[in-house]
C-alpha cells in the first residue's frame, strides 16, 4: 500500500465521476433504444423439429454462444483467434476490477496470488491488443471496415492494459506515474466508452436475445450439426 | 458527404422511411457491430473474390449502418467521421447502395449465424432493399417480377387459363401414365384436408413436379385440392424487401385456403416460398392464420411414416447429395426432414460439407436469378458451391427449393460439375410403388381370372400404333452438337421429322423455308441475337402458326423472350434436358391453340 499524492487523489475522484457519467449515459442510451425502437414480433407457429428448439432455448443458446467456440464456424475454425478473444476480455475484466480494488480494497494486493491473478490476464490482454493492432492496421479487410473510433478504441485499451499491468501491485516504489497513467486513462475511458464501439456490450444482450428468440422459434437455434465429415 | 447538403427527393424519402421501418432487432444489429471481421470468411462472395474487401459482410453492412448512425444515432450526429457515419444525398448514392444490397448479397444469413455479436445483417439488408424499392430504385428484374406479382397474383405473370390448362394437361398425363381415368388434379374443391400451393415456375418450366405431387397425393388417398386463384406460394416481397407486397401475396393465399375451408396448406418445395408463406406471411399480412401450414417435404415424409404410400428406394440407385436452401435451413429450421426422406427413397445419399444451417448459398438466393445485371458476379461467387458439389462425387444434387434448382443448375453448368439437379418430389414420385389396378370381368359365370394391366410407355406403343410426333416437322435449334443430337434423336424416335439449325440466322432462314410445326429454340447461340430472332418470327405473318419451345441452360436469359411485346413462347424447358420432360413439353406445345389463331 502506498500514500496517494494529491494529484492521484484528484484523479481517483474524477474516475468516480466518470463512472457515474458513463452510467448516466448508458441509462439514457438504453432508454432511447427501448423507447425509440419497437420490438418486432412473430405471429407464426413454431417451425423446426417439435421440442428441439424453443424461443427460450434459442435465447439461452444465443447468450451462451460466447462461451461455446464450437457453436459457430467462425470461431470453431479459428481456435487461436478465439483464445485471443477470451484473453482480451479477461484482461478487460481484470483491469476494471483493479479500478475498484485499489481505492476500495488495496489490502488485497498484498497477496501475491491476487497480484498474479490480475497481472496474467492483463498482460495477456496487452499482448493480444498489440496483435490486434497489427491485424487492424495490416489486414486489408480490417482496414476496409475500420473507422477512426475502431483504431482509437483499440489503442486506448492496449495502452490502458500496459498501465494496468504496472499498476497491479499498487506500488509507488518507483513513483506514481504508472498509477496516474492507469487512472487517468480509465477516467477518460469511462467518459469516452458510451460514445464508442466499446459500448458494444450494452447492446450485446439485446441482439443476441432477439436473434436467439427468433431462431429458437424457427427451429434453428441451438444449431444442429450433422455427422462429421467421414 | 455533409448531411446538410441538399438531398434528392428519393434520398430524403429513403431516410424518412428508414426511421419508420427500424425496429429494435434491426437497430440492435446496426449498433452492435464491433468490426471484428469474424463474418468475413462466412460469405461466399468473399471466398470467390479474394482481396476484395467490398464483399465483406461488415463492409456491406456499413453502407447501411453509416446512414443509420448519421440520422438516428447521436454519436453519428455529433462525430460522424469518427464513427463512420455518412448520409446519402443523390440518386447516384442510391444507385451505389442498390448495387451492394441487391448485387453483392443474397440475404443468405450465413454471416448472421457466424457473428459473435448476433448482428443480423440479412435482415437489415432486406430492409434497405425495401427502402430503395419504395423510392423506385431497384434492379430491372425486381421491378418486373414485383409488378407481375402485384398485378397477376403470381410472380411469373402466369394467366389463370394457362395455370388451369397446365393442371388439365398434367392430369391427362397422369391418367395415361397410371392408366386411371378417374385420377384428378382437383381444383377449388371445398372442405379438403389439404390445399396444395405451388411456385409459378412449376407451371411455366417444370410442370412435371406438379404431376409428381399429384401422383403422391393420389397414392396417399389424400383429400386435396388446388385453388384456382391465389395459388402462388412464392413471394417476391421477401427479396424486394417490400412488406406490403409480401403481405398482399401471403394474404391472397391465406384467403384462398379459407374460402375453400381447407384444413391444411401444403407448400410445395421452395425455400423462399416456404419461408415467406409459413414464417413471414402472417407477420407481413398482420393476421393470424387459422389453419395449419407445412412444407410438402413434411407431407411426403408423413405419408411414408404413416404407411399411406409405399416407396422402393432401389428405383433411385444413383448417388445423391442434398443442398440445404438458406431460407429453409437458416430461417425455418427445415433440414432434418429432407434427409430422413432422402434416406427412405434413395439408395446412396451422401452429405455435402458444410451442411444444414452452415451450408453455402446456391448463389441464386435473394432473388438473384431475376437480376441479370449481376449475373457475372453471381456466377463467380458460385465457385465455393461448385467445389462443395464436386467433393460429393454424386450424380444428383437434390434441393427443396426452386430458386436453388436454377441457381445450382447455373453453377453446375458454369463450373462443369457434371451433376443433375432434382427435387424430393421427383425422387419420391419415382420411388412410389403403386398397386396396379385389377380388371375384374363382370357377370362372368366362371371364377374370375385376375388380369393385371400393363402400362404402355408413351411413344413406344404397341405394334402398329402411331408414334406421338408422327407427321410433325420440328426445327431443332442449338449450337451445342451434343444437345442438338440428343434433342433431335428423342424427337425423331417419337416420329417427328427433324430440321437442324445451329445459329440464329439459320433458325430464321429454315423457319421461313421449311415451315415447321414446332421450333425448339436454344437462347444462347452464335450469330443473330436469339431474342431478335424470336421477335422476327413472331412478327412474320407467314410464321403465325409456328409453336416455339424455349430450351435453355441460362434461366437469366428468359427476359430476352418474355419481356418482349410479342406473344410468349408456348413452352419452356430447362437444360439439362431429359427425354421424358422434352417429349411431354413438345407434345404440350403442339396442343396449344391460340385464341387469335
B370-412 residue pLDDT tens: 999 999 999 999 999 999 999 999 999 999 999 999 999 999 9
User: What's the CA dihedral at B107, B113, B114, B116 to 10 degrees?
Assistant: 120
B91-122 residue pLDDT tens: 999 999 999 999 999 999 999 999 999 999 99
If asked whether residues B319 and B288 sit together in one domain, one would say no
Task: Sort out which chain B residues have CB atoms less than 8 A from A62's CB and list them.
Answer: 118
For residue A4, what is the DSSP state?
P
Task: Sort out which chain A residues have CB atoms less than 8 A from B32's CB and list them.
Answer: 200, 203-204, 206-207
Question: Is residue B597 predicted with pLDDT exceeding 70?
Answer: no
Q: For residues B228 and A179, what is the distance between their CA atoms, to the nearest angstrom?
A: 79
Under an 8 A CB cutoff, do A145 and B53 touch?
Answer: yes
pLDDT classification of B456: cutoffs 50, 70, 90: very low
Q: Say how far residue B588 (Cα) sits from the centre of its chain.
A: 21
Report whether A215 contacts A46 (CB < 8 A). Answer: no
Report whether B157 contacts B39 (CB < 8 A). Answer: no
Task: Sort out which chain B residues have CB atoms less than 8 A from A152's CB and list them.
Answer: 82
Residue B290 within any structural domain of the chain = yes
Q: Where are the domains of chain A?
A: 6-21+71-201
Question: Is residue B214 predicted with pLDDT exceeding 90?
Answer: yes
Under an 8 A CB cutoff, do B357 and A143 touch?
Answer: no
pLDDT recorded at residue B23: 97
pLDDT recorded at residue B149: 93
Mean pLDDT, residues B36-57: 97
Task: Sort out which chain B residues have CB atoms less than 8 A from A53's CB and list them.
Answer: 333
A98 min Cα distance to partner chain B (Å): 25
Grouping H, G, I as helix, E, B as strand and the rest as coil, residue B323 is: strand
If asked whether residues B407 and B270 sit together in one domain, one would say no
CATH number of the CATH domain containing B20: 1.10.1060
pLDDT recorded at residue B462: 44
Q: For residues B123 and B529, what is the distance between their CA atoms, to the nearest angstrom?
A: 40
Say if B56 is an interface residue toward chain A (CB within 8 Å): yes
CATH number of the CATH domain containing B417: 3.40.50
pLDDT recorded at residue A3: 66
If asked whether residues B300 and B315 sit together in one domain, one would say no
B275 is written with which cell numbers?
Answer: 419461408
pLDDT recorded at residue B580: 76
Q: For residues B354 and B108, what is the distance between their CA atoms, to the nearest angstrom?
A: 14
Residue B85 within any structural domain of the chain = yes
Last residue of some domain: B378, B404, B431? B431
Top-level class of domain A6-21+71-201:
mainly alpha
Question: Is residue B441 predicted with pLDDT exceeding 80?
Answer: no
Q: For residues A75 and A66, what is the distance between their CA atoms, to the nearest angstrom?
A: 9
Task: Sort out which chain A residues have CB atoms less than 8 A from B81's CB and list them.
Answer: 148
Q: Output phi, psi for B311, to 5 deg.
A: -130, 155
Report whether A71 contacts A61 (CB < 8 A). Answer: yes
A125-136 residue pLDDT tens: 999 999 999 999
Grouping H, G, I as helix, E, B as strand and the rest as coil, residue A39 is: coil
Report whether B81 contacts B4 (CB < 8 A). Answer: no
Cis amide linkage into residue B354, ω under 30° from 0: yes
Mean pLDDT, residues A19-25: 96
Percent of chain A at pLDDT above 70? 98
H-type helices in A45-176, by residue range?
A: 55-64, 73-76, 79-104, 112-138, 140-144, 148-167
Q: For residues A87 and A124, what is the distance between their CA atoms, to the nearest angstrom?
A: 6
**Contacting B residues, span 205-244, partner chain A, CB-CB under 8 Å:** none
Mean pLDDT, residues B11-15: 98
pLDDT classification of B459: cutoffs 50, 70, 90: very low
**Contacting B residues, span 407-426, partner chain A, CB-CB under 8 Å:** none
Q: Say how far residue B426 (Cα) sits from the centre of its chain.
A: 15
If asked whether residues B214 and B261 sit together in one domain, one would say yes
Q: Which of A28, A215, A227 to mutate to test the interface with B (most CBs of B within 10 A)?
A: A215
Distances (CA, A) of A192 to A21, A209, B83: 10, 26, 12
Report whether B409 contacts B574 (CB < 8 A). Answer: yes
Q: Which of B21, B23, B25, B238 to mutate to test the interface with A (most CBs of A within 10 A)?
A: B25
Closest CA to B424 of B308, B361, B334: B334
Mean pLDDT, residues A221-230: 89
If asked whether residues B486 and B583 sit together in one domain, one would say yes
For residue B280, what is the DSSP state?
I
A203 min Cα distance to partner chain B (Å): 6
Q: Is the dihedral of CA B230, B233, B238, B239 positive or negative?
A: negative
Mean pLDDT, residues B198-218: 96
Closest CA to B38 of B107, B100, B118: B118
pLDDT classification of B448: cutoffs 50, 70, 90: very low
pLDDT recorded at residue B558: 67
Strand ranges across the sheet with B518-522: B497-501, B473-477, B518-522, B547-552, B571-574
Residue B1 within any structural domain of the chain = no
Question: Is residue B355 predicted with pLDDT exceeding 60?
Answer: yes
Residue B108 within any structural domain of the chain = yes
Under an 8 A CB cutoff, do B116 and A146 touch?
Answer: no
Nearest-by-Cβ selection for A220 from B39, B286, B357? B357
For B327, the domain range is 311-431
pLDDT recorded at residue B291: 97
Mean pLDDT, residues B305-319: 97
- Per the listing, cell 453448368 goes with B413
Say if A223 is an interface residue toward chain B (CB within 8 Å): yes
Mean pLDDT, residues B299-311: 97
Question: Is residue A109 predicted with pLDDT exceeding 90?
Answer: yes
Cβ-proximal residues to B107 (8 Å cutoff; 6+ apart), any chain: B122, B125, B126, B239, B326, B365, B366
Q: For residues A109 and A171, what is the distance between their CA atoms, to the nearest angstrom?
A: 9
If asked whether residues B47 and B109 sit together in one domain, one would say yes
Q: For residues B28 and A214, what is the distance between their CA atoms, to the nearest angstrom?
A: 14
A147-193 residue pLDDT tens: 999 999 999 999 999 999 999 999 988 889 999 999 999 999 999 99
Where b means 16+ CB within 10 Å and e means fewer, A158-183 reads: bbbbbbbbbbbbbbbeeebebbbbbb
Report whether B344 contacts B304 (CB < 8 A). Answer: yes
B571-586 residue pLDDT tens: 877 777 777 778 888 8
Higher pLDDT, B361 or B443: B361
**Mean pLDDT (chain B, rounded):** 90
pLDDT classification of B505: cutoffs 50, 70, 90: confident
B451 is written with which cell numbers?
Answer: 388380369
A54 min Cα distance to partner chain B (Å): 11
Mean pLDDT, residues B400-428: 97
Higher pLDDT, A30 or B592: A30
Question: Is residue B589 predicted with pLDDT exceeding 80?
Answer: yes
Mean pLDDT, residues B6-29: 97
pLDDT recorded at residue B392: 98
Start-to-end C-alpha separation, chain B: 60
pLDDT recorded at residue B559: 64
User: What's the CA dihedral at B127, B129, B133, B138 to 10 degrees?
Assistant: 180
- What are B319's strand-pairing partners? B348
Query: CB atoms < 10 A from the CB of B351, how many?
Result: 18
Question: Is residue A39 predicted with pLDDT exceeding 70?
Answer: yes
Q: How many alpha carbons fall within 13 Å on the CB side of residue B184? A: 11
Helix (H) or strand (E) holding B26: helix B24-32
B523-567 residue pLDDT tens: 888 777 888 888 889 888 888 789 998 888 766 566 677 767 788
If asked whether residues B43 and B66 sit together in one domain, one would say yes
Closest CA to B292 of B260, B326, B267, B259: B267
If asked whether residues B500 and B570 sit together in one domain, one would say yes
Under an 8 A CB cutoff, do B332 and A207 touch?
Answer: no
Under an 8 A CB cutoff, do B62 and A145 touch?
Answer: yes
Under an 8 A CB cutoff, do A218 and B331 touch?
Answer: yes
Report whether A158 contacts A133 (CB < 8 A). Answer: yes
Q: Is the dihedral of CA A17, A22, A23, A29 positive or negative?
A: positive
Residue B460 within any structural domain of the chain = no
pLDDT recorded at residue B4: 60
- A116-130, A159-173, B310-324, B477-491: least confidently modelled range: B477-491
If asked whether residues B421 and B484 sit together in one domain, one would say no
- What are A154's strand-pairing partners? none
**Contacting B residues, span 325-364, partner chain A, CB-CB under 8 Å:** 329-336, 339, 351, 353-358
Predicted-assembly ipTM surpassing the 0.90 threshold? yes
Report whether B160 contacts B228 (CB < 8 A). Answer: yes
Mean pLDDT, residues A195-222: 96
Question: Is residue B340 predicted with pLDDT exceeding 70?
Answer: yes
Residue B452 within any structural domain of the chain = no
pLDDT classification of B570: cutoffs 50, 70, 90: confident
Report the domain count for chain B. 4
Farthest CA pair distance, chain B:
100
pLDDT recorded at residue B451: 38
Question: Is residue B193 predicted with pLDDT exceeding 90?
Answer: yes
B350 is written with which cell numbers?
Answer: 451422401
- A129-133, A171-175, A216-220, B69-73: least confidently modelled range: A171-175
Closest CA to B18 of A36, A8, A222: A36
If asked whether residues B121 and B81 sit together in one domain, one would say yes
Give the nearest chain A residue to B111 (CA atoms): A74
Pairs of CB atoms within 8 A across A/B? 192
Under an 8 A CB cutoff, do A147 and B82 touch?
Answer: yes
Residue B406 within any structural domain of the chain = yes
Question: Is residue B240 predicted with pLDDT exceeding 80?
Answer: yes
Task: Sort out which chain B residues have CB atoms less than 8 A from A43's CB and list them.
Answer: 282-283, 286-289
Mean pLDDT, residues B416-429: 97
Mean pLDDT, residues A16-22: 95
Amino acid at each position: 500500500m502506498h500514500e496517494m499524492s494529491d494529484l492521484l487523489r484528484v484523479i481517483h475522484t474524477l474516475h468516480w465521476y466518470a463512472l457515474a457519467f458513463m452510467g448516466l449515459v448508458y441509462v439514457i442510451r438504453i432508454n432511447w433504444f427501448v423507447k425509440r425502437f419497437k420490438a418486432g414480433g412473430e405471429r407464426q407457429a413454431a417451425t423446426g423439429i417439435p421440442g428441439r428448439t424453443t424461443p427460450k432455448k434459442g435465447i439461452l443458446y444465443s447468450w451462451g454462444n460466447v462461451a461455446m467456440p464450437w457453436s459457430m464456424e467462425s470461431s470453431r475454425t479459428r481456435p487461436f483467434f478465439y483464445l485471443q478473444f477470451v484473453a482480451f476480455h479477461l484482461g478487460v475484466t481484470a483491469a476494471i476490477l483493479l479500478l475498484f480494488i485499489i481505492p476500495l480494497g488495496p489490502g488485497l494486493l498484498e497477496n501475491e496470488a491476487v497480484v498474479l491473478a490480475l497481472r496474467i490476464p492483463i498482460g495477456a490482454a496487452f499482448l493480444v491488443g498489440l496483435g490486434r493492432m497489427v491485424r487492424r492496421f495490416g489486414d486489408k479487410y480490417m482496414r476496409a471496415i475500420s473507422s477512426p473510433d475502431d483504431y482509437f478504441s483499440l489503442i486506448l485499451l492496449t495502452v490502458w492494459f500496459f498501465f494496468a499491468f504496472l499498476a497491479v501491485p499498487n506500488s509507488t516504489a518507483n513513483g506514481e506515474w504508472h498509477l496516474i497513467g492507469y487512472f487517468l486513462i480509465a477516467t477518460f475511458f469511462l467518459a469516452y466508452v458510451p460514445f464508442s464501439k466499446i459500448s458494444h456490450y450494452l447492446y450485446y444482450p439485446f441482439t443476441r436475445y432477439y436473434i436467439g428468440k427468433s431462431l429458437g422459434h424457427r427451429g434453428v437455434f441451438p444449431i444442429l450439426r450433422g455427422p462429421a465429415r467421414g | 458527404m455533409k448531411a446538410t447538403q441538399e438531398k434528392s427527393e428519393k434520398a430524403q424519402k429513403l431516410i424518412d422511411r428508414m426511421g419508420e421501418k427500424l425496429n429494435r432487432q434491426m437497430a440492435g444489429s446496426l449498433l452492435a457491430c464491433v468490426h471484428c471481421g469474424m463474418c468475413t470468411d462466412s460469405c461466399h462472395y468473399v471466398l470467390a473474390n479474394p482481396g476484395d474487401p467490398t464483399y465483406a459482410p461488415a463492409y456491406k453492412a456499413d453502407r447501411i449502418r453509416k446512414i443509420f448512425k448519421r440520422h438516428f444515432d447521436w454519436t453519428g450526429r455529433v462525430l460522424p467521421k469518427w464513427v463512420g457515419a455518412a448520409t446519402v444525398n443523390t440518386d447516384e448514392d442510391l444507385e451505389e447502395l442498390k448495387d451492394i444490397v441487391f448485387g453483392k448479397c443474397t440475404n443468405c444469413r450465413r454471416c448472421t449465424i457466424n457473428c459473435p455479436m448476433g448482428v443480423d445483417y440479412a435482415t437489415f439488408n432486406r430492409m434497405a432493399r425495401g427502402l430503395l424499392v419504395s423510392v423506385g430504385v431497384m434492379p430491372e428484374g425486381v421491378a418486373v417480377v414485383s409488378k407481375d406479382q402485384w398485378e397477376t397474383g403470381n410472380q411469373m405473370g402466369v394467366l389463370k387459363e394457362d395455370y388451369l390448362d397446365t393442371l388439365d394437361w398434367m392430369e391427362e398425363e397422369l391418367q395415361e401414365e397410371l392408366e386411371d381415368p378417374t385420377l384428378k388434379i382437383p381444383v377449388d374443391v371445398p372442405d379438403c384436408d389439404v390445399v396444395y400451393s405451388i411456385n409459378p415456375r412449376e407451371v411455366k418450366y417444370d410442370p412435371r413436379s406438379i404431376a409428381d405431387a399429384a401422383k403422391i397425393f393420389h397414392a396417399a388417398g389424400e383429400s386435396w385440392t388446388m385453388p384456382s386463384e391465389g395459388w402462388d406460394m412464392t413471394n417476391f416481397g421477401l427479396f424486394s424487401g417490400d412488406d406490403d407486397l409480401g403481405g398482399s401475396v401471403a394474404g391472397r393465399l391465406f384467403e384462398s385456403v379459407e374460402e375453400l375451408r381447407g384444413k391444411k396448406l401444403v407448400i410445395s418445395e421452395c425455400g423462399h416460398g416456404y419461408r415467406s408463406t409459413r414464417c413471414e406471411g402472417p407477420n407481413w399480412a398482420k393476421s393470424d392464420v387459422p389453419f395449419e401450414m407445412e412444407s410438402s417435404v413434411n407431407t411426403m415424409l408423413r405419408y411414408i411414416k404413416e404407411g399411406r404410400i409405399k416407396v422402393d428406394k432401389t428405383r433411385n440407385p444413383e448417388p445423391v447429395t442434398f443442398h440445404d436452401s438458406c431460407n429453409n435451413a437458416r430461417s425455418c429450421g427445415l433440414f432434418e426432414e429432407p434427409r430422413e426422406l432422402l434416406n427412405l427413397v434413395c439408395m446412396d445419399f451422401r452429405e455435402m460439407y458444410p451442411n444444414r444451417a452452415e451450408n453455402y448459398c446456391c448463389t441464386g438466393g435473394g432473388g438473384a436469378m431475376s437480376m441479370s445485371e449481376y449475373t457475372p458476379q453471381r456466377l463467380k461467387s458460385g465457385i465455393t458451391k461448385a467445389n462443395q458439389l464436386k467433393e460429393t462425387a454424386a450424380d444428383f444434387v437434390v434441393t427443396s427449393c426452386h430458386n436453388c434448382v436454377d441457381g445450382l443448375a447455373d453453377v453446375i453448368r458454369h463450373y462443369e460439375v457434371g451433376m443433375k439437379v432434382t427435387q424430393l418430389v421427383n425422387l419420391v414420385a419415382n420411388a412410389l410403388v403403386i398397386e396396379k389396378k385389377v380388371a375384374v370381368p363382370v357377370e362372368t359365370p366362371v371364377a374370375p381370372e385376375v388380369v393385371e394391366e400393363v402400362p404402355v410407355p408413351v411413344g413406344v406403343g404397341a405394334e402398329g400404333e402411331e408414334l406421338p410426333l408422327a407427321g410433325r416437322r420440328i426445327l431443332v435449334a442449338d449450337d451445342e452438337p451434343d444437345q442438338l443430337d440428343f434433342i433431335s434423336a428423342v424427337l425423331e424416335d417419337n416420329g417427328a421429322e427433324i430440321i437442324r439449325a445451329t445459329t440464329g440466322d439459320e433458325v430464321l432462314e429454315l423457319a421461313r423455308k421449311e415451315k415447321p410445326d414446332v421450333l425448339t429454340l436454344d437462347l444462347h447461340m452464335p450469330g443473330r441475337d436469339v431474342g431478335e430472332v424470336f421477335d422476327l418470327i413472331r412478327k412474320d405473318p407467314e410464321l403465325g402458326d409456328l409453336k416455339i419451345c424455349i430450351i435453355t441452360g441460362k434461366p437469366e436469359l428468359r427476359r430476352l423472350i418474355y419481356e418482349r411485346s410479342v406473344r410468349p413462347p408456348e413452352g419452356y424447358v430447362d437444360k439439362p434436358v431429359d427425354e421424358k420432360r422434352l417429349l411431354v413439353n413438345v407434345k404440350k406445345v403442339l396442343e396449344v391453340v391460340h385464341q387469335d389463331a
